[in-house]
Structure 1
Amino acid sequence: MSRVTVFTLGGTISARGGDAARMTGPEVLAALGAPEDVELRDFRRLPSSSLAPEDLAALAAEVNETVAAGSGVVVVQGTDTLEETAFLLDLLCPTERAPVAVTGAMRRPDLPGADGPANLAAALAVAADPACRGLGVLVVLADEIHAARHARKTHTTSVATFASPGAGPLGSVVEGTPRI
């Protein structure tokens, strides 16, 4: 596996029950069973609707530095503005040196069928795979890989909410292996 850096921003994937408290980046990775060799940047702890343009500009700058150093990137955030963040990163962050994947969760960690662990595992696999370089920023949820420029949230509660209308997914993650 190539080196991967995870930027946590908050969102449902880090929610503690029904209150507004958010888990820290280390808590999210530990709760979701992320590999220990992943570098973590506990970037923000906000609902995605609270991310400001300044937050996203700072994120893009750090993602660019990380990719330039040869590390794949996973951005973990809430799904309310995930498609906008992914699109902005796609405009500002080259992916020729390393893949960049954006992911989140539709169900909190304390609910049955929480999708966060599987989405994070799939995004880590994509960010570590050299075959995913140069594809632009990728949205990875429900084992599907979408180009950020086409990805749309199509449902407010379904774990299979992200789609690429008119284009379809670029690929999928099958048993931990990205297939483009």
Structure 2
Amino acid sequence: MTVFGLGGTIAMTASEGGGVVPALSADQLVAAVPGLADSGITVEVQDFRRVPGASLTFDDLEELIEAIRRCLADGVDGVVVTQGTDTIEETAYLLDLSLGRSEPVVVTGAMRNPTLAGADGPANLLAAVQVAASIPARDLGVLVVFADEIHAASRVRKTHSTSGFTFQSPTGGPLGYVVEGRPRIVNRPEARITLPAAGRWRTVEVGLVRVLAGGRWESSSGKATIGSA
């Protein structure tokens, strides 16, 4: 089992300026999870990035995909990715499109940083590791595990800016739950879409048409005028 740490709220600590920054390493995250050492699951870590979720780039994700491929090719049974919640659904879906393996790949994070009472990072990470190490989680595609719920990357959405149950699957519901440390799969996706590696990363031009009722858009100034002019 390999855990890739990318930063985000789950890895944040207090800064000198009074805020919080993603400073905890993947080793520190794993070491802080109660019960993980006694689970019988061997966990290796890769301190991949330490950035907020919104600061992850496509280059970061391309390197992550290649690193996960190498781990799985070397015989790792499962992978967990920890990162900021702002882009968990985007990261998970891109991994799902890019990785066609049977081994579980699970993305998780936290809504409350480790300096706050009720921080949810350790519980989410423990559940993610338990799912990634389980046989029932194989062949489900990339998963998002949060608040003991198991979601398919192709369905999951972040629905709230503060709730610990922010990740939901409106079209189909969760695939399952972690119950007393055991993943229970109750809902399996019927199909999975993956993209070929060749040509995945390319530059495209996208047209942007601005439409507003009863007004006009001035492209030179970047301002909108409402009503007659």
Structure 2-normalised TM-score? Answer: 0.74
> Is 1:99–1:136's contact at 8 Å kept on the other side of the alignment?
yes
Cα offset, 1:58, TM superposition: 0.4
Alignment correspondent of 1:85: 91
Describe the superposition over 1:74-99 as per-residue Cα deviations: whole angstroms up to 9, x where unpaired.
Answer: 00001000000000000011231x11
Letter of the aligned partner of 1:127 in structure 2? A
CA change 1:80–1:100 in 2 (3 A) is same
Say whether 1:14 aligns with 2:15: no
What is the rounded CA distance, in whole Å, between the counterparts of 2:20 and 2:150 in structure 1?
A: 31
Alignment correspondent of 1:27: 28
What is the rounded CA distance, in whole Å, between the counterparts of 2:90 and 2:131 in structure 1?
A: 20
Say whether 1:127 aligns with 2:128: no
SS of residue paired to 1:84: helix
Alignment correspondent of 1:170: 175
What is the rounded CA distance, in whole Å, between the counterparts of 1:133 and 1:19 in structure 2?
A: 36
* CA RMSD in angstroms, aligned pairs only: 1.2
> Is 2:7–2:22's contact at 8 Å kept on the other side of the alignment?
no
CA change 1:43–1:170 in 2 (3 A) is same
Identity %: 57
Structure 2: where are the runs of 5+ without partners? 186-229
Quick check: which has more Rg, 1 or 2? Answer: 2
Alignment correspondent of 1:40: 45
> Is 2:29–2:122's contact at 8 Å kept on the other side of the alignment?
no
CA change 1:144–1:47 in 2 (3 A) is same
What is the rounded CA distance, in whole Å, between the counterparts of 1:94 and 1:174 in structure 2?
A: 27
Structure 1: where are the runs of 5+ without partners? none
SS of residue paired to 1:45: strand
CA change 1:21–1:131 in 2 (3 A) is closer
Letter of the aligned partner of 2:143 in structure 1? L
What is the rounded CA distance, in whole Å, between the counterparts of 2:111 and 2:171 in structure 1?
A: 23
Alignment correspondent of 2:100: 94
Alignment correspondent of 1:139: 144
Across the two proteins, how many residue pairs are aligned to each other? 176
Structure 1-normalised TM-score? Answer: 0.94
Q: Which one of 110, 118, 123 corresponds to residue 115 of structure 2?
A: 110
Cα offset, 1:21, TM superposition: 4.7
What is the rounded CA distance, in whole Å, between the counterparts of 1:169 and 1:31 in structure 2?
A: 27
Cα offset, 1:164, TM superposition: 0.4
Cα offset, 1:27, TM superposition: 1.4
SS of residue paired to 1:130: coil
Q: Which one of 126, 151, 154 corresponds to residue 149 of structure 1?
A: 154
